[in-house]
Amino acid sequence: MRYEEEVRFHQHEDGVYYISVAARMLNTHPQTLRMYERLGLIHPKRTGDSEHSPRLYSQKDIERIRRIQHLTQDLGVNLAGVEVIFKLLNEMEQMRREMEEEIQRIKQLYLEAQRQWQQQGSGKGNSTGVPPTHEVVRRVPIVESNDEKTI
């Protein structure tokens, strides 16, 4: 198998490993994987619509189970703690995505404001094309030294 094909295979998110193969890969018992599924910690795909259809584990599932094993076996976290950790990680990831979207929205607003400012002319001696708010420098007294510092 060529390297590119191997990378694509390992990044594949569809289920590719039956429970017995996944358990062997993870050096654990298939019942452990079933318990993780019952607790909602993993969600392997099924080959059919029935709950009795064979489970298929993706590389992403395998990585998640390795994380569970690390937390429980190496760090001593119980499964309820693992659930809380995963929930918090998901919330943090959601907040990160929302923050990135907001940053992009603000960048677009800034660029639009800059374009409008340039279209209106430089005005008030500003030849940079940047809105005047970027030219304002305030002097704020620093209490500890009684000096004034430029911000």
- Give pLDDT tens digits for 25-73: 999 999 999 999 999 999 999 988 888 899 999 999 999 999 999 999 9
- Average pLDDT score over residue span 128-143: 49
Phi, psi (rounded to 5 degrees) for 128: -85, -20
Closest to 56 (Cα-Cα) out of 89, 8, 103, 12: 12
Q: Mean pLDDT, the chain, as a whole number?
A: 82
Q: Which of 33, 39, 3 is nearest to 15 (CA)?
A: 33
Average pLDDT for residues 79-86, to the nearest whole number? 98
The mean-pLDDT minimum among 18-22, 123-127, 135-139 falls in 135-139
Q: What is the mean pLDDT of residues 136-143?
A: 46
Query: Is residue 54 within 8 Å of residue 46, measured between CB atoms?
Result: yes
Question: When comparing pLDDT for 130 and 74, which is higher?
Answer: 74
Q: How close are the terminal C-alpha atoms of the chain, in Å?
A: 59
Four-residue CA torsion sign, 96, 98, 101, 107: negative
Q: Give pLDDT, residue 49.
A: 87
Helix or strand holding residue 93 (H, E): helix 79-120
Note the pTM of the prediction, 2 decimals: 0.65
Confidence band, pLDDT 50/70/90 cuts, at residue 131: low
Mean pLDDT of 137-151: 48
Q: What is the pLDDT, as a whole number, of residue 13?
A: 63
149/57 Cα distance (integer angstroms) = 60
